[in-house]
Structure 1
Amino acid sequence: MRLKTNKSITDDLYHRLLIDASKVKLPYLYFLPDVSIENEISMVPIITSAYSATWKIGKYLNDLLRPFVNKILQPTTFRDEPDLMQKLHQYVYTGKRLQSTTLFCTIQILNYIALDLHQHMIDAVGCFLQDNLVSNKLGPLTIQTIKNLLHIYLYYNIFYYKNQIYKIAKGSPTTMALSETLSTIYLFAWENQLFFTWNNSNETELCRFLRPLQDKYPSVQFHPRIGSTVRFFNVHIDNSKGELSTRIYHQSMMGKYSLPYVVGHSKQAHSDWLRSALIRAVCCCSCVDDFHLERLTLELAYLTNGYSLRFVESHLDNFFDYFHAAEMRYFKDQISYDKFRKNWFDYMLMQYELTDKLQQFNDKGQLIQLQYRYEYGPRCEFTQQFHQLWSQYFHQHPTLSNEKVKVLLTTKHQYSLNSLLTEEKSMNLIQ
């Protein structure tokens, strides 16, 4: 109320952030296994956040901060494995900076979700904005107003566990997108996982270089890996006397032939994942033999999980035919593979641009997501006809034309085990 009285926020924004107490859901705590560290399983706390008392403020702040933060950090941030491989490829072959003595260093931050006290996080956000903004405002809000809203968001996050209500003293729920944005700002040059190269002297010198960073951030617990061979983003990276070699890394504690857990229409989700996994394989495997081994692993994974040979074959044909390279499925010529791989690198650059444009529509509230029940049939044809009809009837509409809004169609399975077997915790459990 004070922010509205002081005219720090507009009446419209005040009403947007105002909550309906009858619709608020108290967050609860549960745990999921984490196998990100080799040969170690730990339990990670997960706190629900949807429709909590701070949910609206958190969503608004993330929509405001994230685009600006991403723009500042984009040059030093990897989106995913293909992006990592492309930038590493440029470092080695375009910049010609890889030496026979070059060491790789990866740093994983273990307490990423609860780095520091709330006030330290708020101060870090304020300093970040002051250092990178031209004026004292980001969008309609001043830096001080953003800090005030962050104070409300961070200090009023509560949850219940075993019939007891607790207050979060560090960090915020990982299910809230703002948590990732705040941690990124706090660490700035650190990020959740870091990867860099070291050409100066040896491993001892590198450890000496890292020590002041650890002293500067005593609250940050990190796990470094240093050597000519490292693992990052589930990619095995090796410097063999100045020659770069990369391939997919499979953790021993995770089954090679298991498919990811999905929500919604499992067949459609696994169809999309197979294509993504094949693209990831060709981008991450520098050797043609490693790529074909990964391809065979994916084929076996789908066959052992009940998908038909026809399903697998059709997806593989589509993947290789995309660049008219059907022969690549059976040939092991490294030169042809390198050209095929470059085509997929270029493809991913275009996908990143499309993703950024889609995100811009979402940030402006111009993205419409629709679901429809789907069991089988010509899904692609239905999607195409839907967009044609949308364009036909709304091409001159002031807010619903293709230039003003984007529509995403997703499928939903009528008989989902997720719907049958999962159940939201009842508020009646709290005594």
Structure 2
Amino acid sequence: ENDISLVPIITSRFSATWKIGKYLNQLLQPFTDKILHSTTFVDEIDFIRKLNHYVNTEHRLRPTTLFCTIKITNFYTLDEHQNMLDVIGYFLQDNLATNKLESLIIQTIRNLLYLFLYNNIFYYKDNIYKCSQGSPNIMGLTETLSNIYLFVWQKKILKEIDQNIEFLGRYEDQIFFTWNKSSAIELETFIENIREKHWNVRFQKFISTNVQFLNASIENRQGQLYSQVHCDSNMSRYTLPYLLGHSKSAHSDWLQTALIRAVCYCTSVDDFQQERIVLELTYLINAYSLLFVETHVKHFFNYFHAQTMRYSRSQSTYDKFRQQWFKFVEQRYELSEQLEKFNKNGRLIQFNYIYDFDSRCRFNREFYRLWSHYFQKHPTLSEENSEVILSTKHFHSLNTLLAIDKPPYTTVQQ
């Protein structure tokens, strides 16, 4: 009735294929991410950052430039297993300097993938089923395989566009690219030809000078980029997201992220100020104190010593403020890459601690100070050689408060 599509969740953890899938994903994902990096958006802010670079740094947006978005509707079930195996094999052959990825040759990887894909079995309503396409979407390997498959598929688009002029990228099952080659009708014909030749990839497309992509409204106004945060009419305007972990701490981080997204998405200072007001009202409506909101919003503006920007309507001042945040985001991505390296080398240390009240920031500062003092000369635990992440959690959770444990089974002896 509401045009809502449902995707079944297959619980496969600790199944026969779980360990194979986990091992293969640890092998394939880092290699795949490097190959796909140039045409992949990490998240929403990464998309708008790269689009801003395309428009304002490279100056490649023209008055006639069209935007095209593609939504893959069968991301987790793109093709039959044998075709998927063939695509993965070709991908590895094209991108590996030798016939091996780390310690495994390509044929061994294919053999393990065969075991994984053809042996995902699940039980439903007194029947046992086997996946004929795709694999359980809660497994990381499933997404990695789909990313590889779509990378090969989207080359059909890349062949037709001039990468020195156009902009193209994908975030999971969504693709965005610009088109300067011809009219919208010819672009639509081109995409429909791809659909006919590769019918197994099902997708929805939208072509216009005004599109929505990753919660952003993007518009080409005669060669000038206009963007703002897109509000889905089907979603409540003043609702906070459901977050795992310590809700207050998580919502603190989310407010910071939402403000950064607002300043990156909104090209107009008026749109940004409107979005900021909505965010502040959202927290107040959801019972957060005025002190909480004021503290976080002031911290956001004070980060670049731009206290007056909170109520400013100056477009030129806002443009400078916005560029500062783009630079900040770029530095944050570089830091994330460093953390990933620490994690890969087993030197990323994460601690959780119970937190319900009092000064979390002061505790964190004191913890890091003591850690640095006692481990400053340690070969692996020093600041230079490792990274420590502190996170908080509630003492109580919904499970402990509302759930009732099942009574233990007893064996009846006769």
Q: Give the alignment's TM-score, normalised by structure 2.
A: 0.89
Is 1:227 aligned with 2:208?
A: yes
Is 1:140 aligned with 2:103?
A: yes
Would the alpha carbon gap of residues 111 and 70 (structure 1) be closer, same or farther in structure 2, given more than 3 Å must change? Answer: same
Offset of residue 68 of structure 1: 1.3
- Give the aligned partner of residue 175 of structure 2: 194
- Please tell me whether the aligned partners of residues 265 and 416 of structure 1 are also in contact (alpha carbons under 8 angstroms): no
Is 1:71 aligned with 2:34?
A: yes
For 2:135, give the aligned amino acid: S
Matched-pair identity in %: 56
Would the alpha carbon gap of residues 328 and 425 (structure 1) be closer, same or farther in structure 2, given more than 3 Å must change? Answer: farther
Pairing partner for 1:131 from 83, 87, 94: 94
Pairing partner for 2:59 from 96, 118, 121: 96
Would the alpha carbon gap of residues 423 and 101 (structure 1) be closer, same or farther in structure 2, given more than 3 Å must change? Answer: farther
Partners of 1:248 and 1:317 in 2: CA distance = 21
Is 1:405 aligned with 2:413?
A: no
Per the alignment, in what secondary structure is the counterpart of residue 305 of structure 2? coil
Offset of residue 240 of structure 1: 1.5
Per the alignment, in what secondary structure is the counterpart of residue 59 of structure 2? coil
Partners of 1:419 and 1:126 in 2: CA distance = 47
Would the alpha carbon gap of residues 376 and 175 (structure 1) be closer, same or farther in structure 2, given more than 3 Å must change? Answer: same
Partners of 1:98 and 1:193 in 2: CA distance = 21
- Give the aligned partner of residue 5 of structure 1: none
Partners of 2:295 and 2:175 in 1: CA distance = 38
Per the alignment, in what secondary structure is the counterpart of residue 195 of structure 1? strand
Would the alpha carbon gap of residues 70 and 97 (structure 1) be closer, same or farther in structure 2, given more than 3 Å must change? Answer: same
Per the alignment, in what secondary structure is the counterpart of residue 410 of structure 1? strand
For 1:320, give the aligned amino acid: F
- Give the aligned partner of residue 185 of structure 2: 204
For 1:372, give the aligned amino acid: Y
- Please tell me whether the aligned partners of residues 239 and 245 of structure 1 are also in contact (alpha carbons under 8 angstroms): yes
Per the alignment, in what secondary structure is the counterpart of residue 255 of structure 2? helix
Pairing partner for 1:348 from 297, 305, 329: 329
Offset of residue 424 of structure 1: 10
- Give the aligned partner of residue 296 of structure 1: 277
Is 1:276 aligned with 2:239?
A: no
Partners of 1:156 and 1:72 in 2: CA distance = 28
Would the alpha carbon gap of residues 80 and 57 (structure 1) be closer, same or farther in structure 2, given more than 3 Å must change? Answer: same
Question: Which runs of no fewer than 5 residues in structure 2 stay unpaired?
Answer: 155-169, 410-414
Partners of 2:68 and 2:404 in 1: CA distance = 43
- Give the aligned partner of residue 258 of structure 1: 239
For 1:377, give the aligned amino acid: D
> Per-residue displacement from partner, 1:336-385 (whole Å, max 9, x unpaired)?
00000000000000110111111122223332322111101221222222
Partners of 1:212 and 1:384 in 2: CA distance = 58
Partners of 1:53 and 1:164 in 2: CA distance = 18
> Per-residue displacement from partner, 1:250-307 (whole Å, max 9, x unpaired)?
1111111111111111111111000000000000000001111111111111111111
Pairing partner for 1:57 from 20, 23, 30: 20
Alignment of 1:349-428 (within 5 A): 349-421=330-402
Is 1:329 aligned with 2:318?
A: no
Partners of 2:40 and 2:105 in 1: CA distance = 27
Offset of residue 395 of structure 1: 3.9
Question: Which runs of no fewer than 5 residues in structure 1 stay unpaired?
Answer: 1-38
Offset of residue 397 of structure 1: 4.0
Partners of 1:418 and 1:243 in 2: CA distance = 51
- Please tell me whether the aligned partners of residues 106 and 232 of structure 1 are also in contact (alpha carbons under 8 angstroms): yes
Per the alignment, in what secondary structure is the counterpart of residue 42 of structure 1? coil
- Give the aligned partner of residue 158 of structure 2: none
Is 1:217 aligned with 2:198?
A: yes
Pairing partner for 1:119 from 58, 68, 82: 82
Partners of 1:144 and 1:82 in 2: CA distance = 38
Structure 1 vs Structure 2 CA RMSD:
2.1
Per the alignment, in what secondary structure is the counterpart of residue 232 of structure 2? coil
Would the alpha carbon gap of residues 48 and 423 (structure 1) be closer, same or farther in structure 2, given more than 3 Å must change? Answer: farther
Offset of residue 125 of structure 1: 1.1
For 1:128, give the aligned amino acid: F
Per the alignment, in what secondary structure is the counterpart of residue 9 of structure 2? strand
- Please tell me whether the aligned partners of residues 263 and 418 of structure 1 are also in contact (alpha carbons under 8 angstroms): no
Offset of residue 399 of structure 1: 4.1
- Give the aligned partner of residue 105 of structure 1: 68
- Please tell me whether the aligned partners of residues 264 and 418 of structure 1 are also in contact (alpha carbons under 8 angstroms): no
Which deviates the most, 130-139 or 75-84? 75-84
Partners of 2:219 and 2:387 in 1: CA distance = 42
Partners of 2:258 and 2:347 in 1: CA distance = 30
> Per-residue displacement from partner, 1:146-181 (whole Å, max 9, x unpaired)?
111211222222233345432222111221111111
Partners of 2:75 and 2:310 in 1: CA distance = 41
For 1:110, give the aligned amino acid: T
Would the alpha carbon gap of residues 98 and 157 (structure 1) be closer, same or farther in structure 2, given more than 3 Å must change? Answer: same
Partners of 2:404 and 2:79 in 1: CA distance = 33
Would the alpha carbon gap of residues 355 and 206 (structure 1) be closer, same or farther in structure 2, given more than 3 Å must change? Answer: same
For 1:204, give the aligned amino acid: I
- Give the aligned partner of residue 30 of structure 1: none
Offset of residue 392 of structure 1: 3.4
- Give the aligned partner of residue 246 of structure 1: 227
